[in-house]
Amino acid sequence: EADIYQTPRYLVIGTGKKITLECSQTMGHDKMYWYQQDPGMELHLIHYSYGVNSTEKGDLSSESTVSRIRTEHFPLTLESARPSHTSQYLCASSELDSRSYEQYFGPGTRLTVT
Amino acid sequence: KNQVEQSPQSLIILEGKNCTLQCNYTVSPFSNLRWYKQDTGRGPVSLTIMTFSENTKSNGRYTATLDADTKQSSLHITASQLSDSASYICVVSDRGSTLGRLYFGRGTQLTVWP
């Protein structure tokens, strides 16, 4: 099993609250990613990072923000949660070239905004 | 438009039976194709990776095929077990970007009944 961790695993929170989803990996990977996945749908890339102090937006527009202060840590923050943010959020990491190297996924955070 | 289509959307089989899942893609230029297994409430885990020159690759009871000319792949599961119940996701990588962009299918939800 991959050494990539996400907390919390499940979160139910009210509208307007600020939340941070944690992701950490112990494999020393430079590249990290955040995906959003709704039931029966494909994964959508919302953020990625090439390394420390590097963050980029993905294909799916998201109101969330990310930071990469340490190689092993890639938290995702929602300043004001809304019901439309209800989804599963998956964090992943890979060695520099994800075309050649596998992306390792964390177990995901299931977020419900009421 | 780069897309990955999987069929069937869902499949129910009896324990011990074989099954084949299909993946068609339009991603170009093609780099590689992976099959991932995603258990409920978990992150995807890679089963196989196929590059342009590979036609068949096996991983235990899982055998993946790739026809790069017709842009089709299949995942064959032999002697299914209850633990095979999961979503199987086809993921295609392009080689036209520095990120190594991944394109995800929506997955085939496989249920194995005793």
A-side interface with B, Cβ within 8 Å? 1-2, 4, 9, 40-45, 48, 90, 92, 97-100, 102-103, 105-108, 110
Kindly indicate the confidence band of residue B66, based on its pLDDT and cuts at 50, 70 and 90: very high
CA distances in angstroms from A14 to A26, A43, A83, B38, B45, listed in the order given: 32, 25, 8, 29, 32
> Are residues A99 and B100, on separate chains, in Cβ contact within 8 Å?
yes
Quick check: A99 pLDDT over 60?
A: no
Mutation target among B39, B50, B91, B102 for the A interface, most CBs of A within 10 A: B102
Mean pLDDT of A40-59: 92
Contacts 24+ apart (CB under 8 A), A9-14: A9/A107, A9/A108, A9/A109, A9/A110, A9/B41, A10/A109, A10/A110, A10/A112, A11/A109, A11/A110, A11/A111, A11/A112, A12/A112, A12/A114, A13/A81, A13/A111, A13/A112, A13/A113, A13/A114, A14/A81, A14/A113, A14/A114
What is the residue-averaged pLDDT of chain B?
Answer: 92
β-strand pairing of A10-13 with A109-113: parallel
Kindly indicate the confidence band of residue B1, based on its pLDDT and cuts at 50, 70 and 90: confident
For A1-114, list the strands marked E by DSSP. Answer: 4-7, 10-13, 19-25, 31-37, 44-49, 56-57, 65-66, 76-78, 87-94, 104-105, 109-113
Of A1-5, B25-29, B54-58, B109-113, minimum mean pLDDT range: A1-5
Quick check: A60 pLDDT over 90?
A: no
CB-CB neighbors (< 8 A) of B4 in chain A:
42
Q: What is the pLDDT of residue B98?
A: 60
- Given B32, B46, B105, which is nearest A42 (Cβ)? B105
Taking CA–CA distances from A41, the nearest residue in chain B reads B106
| Pairwise pLDDT comparison (B73 vs A61), residue with the higher score | B73
Quick check: A111 pLDDT over 70?
A: yes
Quick check: A1 pLDDT over 60?
A: no
β-strand pairing of A31-37 with B72-77: unpaired
Q: What is the pLDDT of residue B41?
A: 85
% pLDDT > 90, chain B: 76
Quick check: A97 pLDDT over 80?
A: no
Q: What is the pLDDT of residue A98?
A: 55
β-strand pairing of A109-113 with A87-94: antiparallel
